């Protein structure tokens, strides 16, 4: 383990080679999904062995994902990729938290409770149906953006946002990720379109990392009392690291995830310094990939 220092006093970051170096320090390991456990198509090579070892050591393993889909769908995906069934038991998605928020009438979704909700997930048919609905209807409506539909063009999403803005329709984004892993490479995700809508003057609310509600829900659901004994393993400075930091939770940032191109072309000290200047929290640890 070595220290990487930036010019900011709070930013001594420890470089590690394996998460197993930290087993004396933490009891609970939160793992992001895409870019950490898999690339959207297959598990990364050392995921099963690492998680199995952590489990054998009695550590609590929780997958904390910004997926708009349910935990059961994500568990099936992970098992299909080859992750041992015993390691997929604890999984929380932003979709789960959003549905819980509606069921419990949480203040986070107050503005949406009495609205006609149009739930936009990963079906191309849903995109077109919502577009046609908004073209004809003037009823009290909100849109929940939960996923991206393959086969729908970037421009079609922008057209939908323009139509929504004409009618001042509130948007609830339950997957704040800006980018997503696809077979074609890294492409815009739901968070990108939510941010675009917000920048255009649209009303947007978020459920998902870095928003605190997903962490609060997870800590309560699993009865986790001591944030100092929890570490978040992620690949996004904007979601995994920032969200964890806001909750007083340490984090491990993977270089070979969503920010790989930045790590490849920008010296690490400068990259961390730039993130601090943006007002972002820095990770407690940094490593290449799951090991």
Rounded CA gap, 81 and 40, in Å? 9
pLDDT tens string 118-138: 888 877 777 788 888 788 776
SS3 213: helix
Rounded CA gap, 169 and 190, in Å? 16
Contact 161, 135 (CB under 8 A): no
pLDDT at position 9: 41
Bridge partners of residue 176, in order along the sequence: none
- Return the closest-CA partner of residue 130 out of 113, 146, 118, 141: 118
pLDDT at position 10: 47
On the question of a common fold for 2-97+210-287 and 108-206, the answer reads yes
Contact 223, 90 (CB under 8 A): no
Q: Which two tokens stand for residue 140?
A: 């009290």
Cα 151 → chain centroid? 23
pLDDT at position 12: 86
Cα 45 → chain centroid? 21
Contact 271, 286 (CB under 8 A): no
Rounded CA gap, 95 and 209, in Å? 11
Superfamily holding 108-206: HAD superfamily/HAD-like (3.40.50.1000)
Strand order through the sheet with 250-254:
2-4, 13-15, 285-287, 250-254, 230-234, 28-31, 60-65, 91-93
Contact 224, 247 (CB under 8 A): no
pLDDT at position 130: 83
pLDDT at position 46: 96
The strand ranges marked E within the chain are: 2-4, 13-15, 28-31, 60-65, 91-93, 116-120, 141-145, 171-173, 179-182, 185-188, 204-206, 230-234, 250-254, 285-287
pLDDT at position 274: 96
Span between the terminal Cα atoms of the chain, in Å: 14
Domain range 2-97+210-287, its CATH number among 3.40.50.1000, 3.30.110.30, 3.30.70.1560, 2.160.10.10: 3.40.50.1000
Rounded CA gap, 210 and 206, in Å? 9
pLDDT at position 182: 74
Contact 92, 70 (CB under 8 A): no
Query: Which residues of the chain are under the pLDDT cut of 70?
Result: 1-11, 138
**190-199 vs 154-166: helix axis angle to the nearest 10?**
40
Rounded CA gap, 173 and 191, in Å? 7
Helix (H) or strand (E) segment spanning residue 94: helix 94-103
pLDDT at position 105: 94
pLDDT tens string 77-95: 999 999 999 999 999 999 9
Reply yes or no: is the peptide bond before residue 31 cis, omega within 30 of 0.
Answer: no
SS3 237: helix
- Return the closest-CA partner of residue 176 out of 105, 222, 242, 106: 242
DSSP type of residue 280:
P
Question: Domain residue spans in the chain?
Answer: 2-97+210-287, 108-206
pLDDT at position 138: 63
Contact 161, 197 (CB under 8 A): yes
pLDDT at position 122: 77
């Amino acid at each position: 383990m070595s220290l990487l220092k930036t010019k900011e006093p709070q930013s001594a970051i420890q470089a590690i080679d394996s998460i197993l170096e930290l087993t004396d320090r933490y009891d609970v390991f939160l793992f992001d999904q895409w870019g950490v456990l898999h690339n959207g198509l297959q598990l990364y090579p050392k995921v099963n062995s690492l998680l199995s070892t952590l489990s054998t050591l009695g550590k609590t393993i929780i997958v904390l994902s910004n997926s708009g889909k349910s935990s059961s769908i994500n568990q099936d995906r992970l098992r299909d990729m080859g992750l041992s069934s015993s390691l997929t038991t604890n999984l929380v998605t932003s979709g789960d938290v959003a549905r819980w928020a509606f069921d419990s009438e949480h203040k986070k979704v107050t503005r949406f409770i009495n609205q006609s909700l149009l739930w936009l997930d990963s079906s191309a048919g849903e995109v077109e149906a919502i577009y046609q609905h908004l073209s004809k209807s003037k009823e009290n409506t909100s849109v929940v953006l939960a996923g991206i539909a393959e086969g729908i063009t970037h421009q079609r999403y922008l057209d939908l946002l323009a139509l929504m803005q004409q009618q001042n329709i509130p948007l609830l984004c339950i997957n704040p990720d800006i980018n997503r892993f696809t077979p074609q490479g890294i492409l815009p995700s739901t968070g990108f379109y939510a941010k675009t809508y917000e920048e255009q003057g649209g009303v947007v609310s978020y459920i998902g990392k870095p928003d605190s509600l997903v962490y609060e829900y997870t800590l309560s659901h699993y009865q986790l009392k001591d944030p100092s004994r929890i570490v978040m393993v992620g690949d996004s400075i904007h979601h995994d690291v920032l969200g964890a930091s806001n909750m007083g939770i340490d984090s491990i940032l993977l270089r070979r995830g969503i920010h790989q191109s930045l790590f490849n072309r920008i010296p690490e000290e400068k990259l961390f310094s730039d993130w601090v200047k943006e007002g972002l929290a820095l990770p407690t640890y940094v490593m290449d990939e799951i090991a």
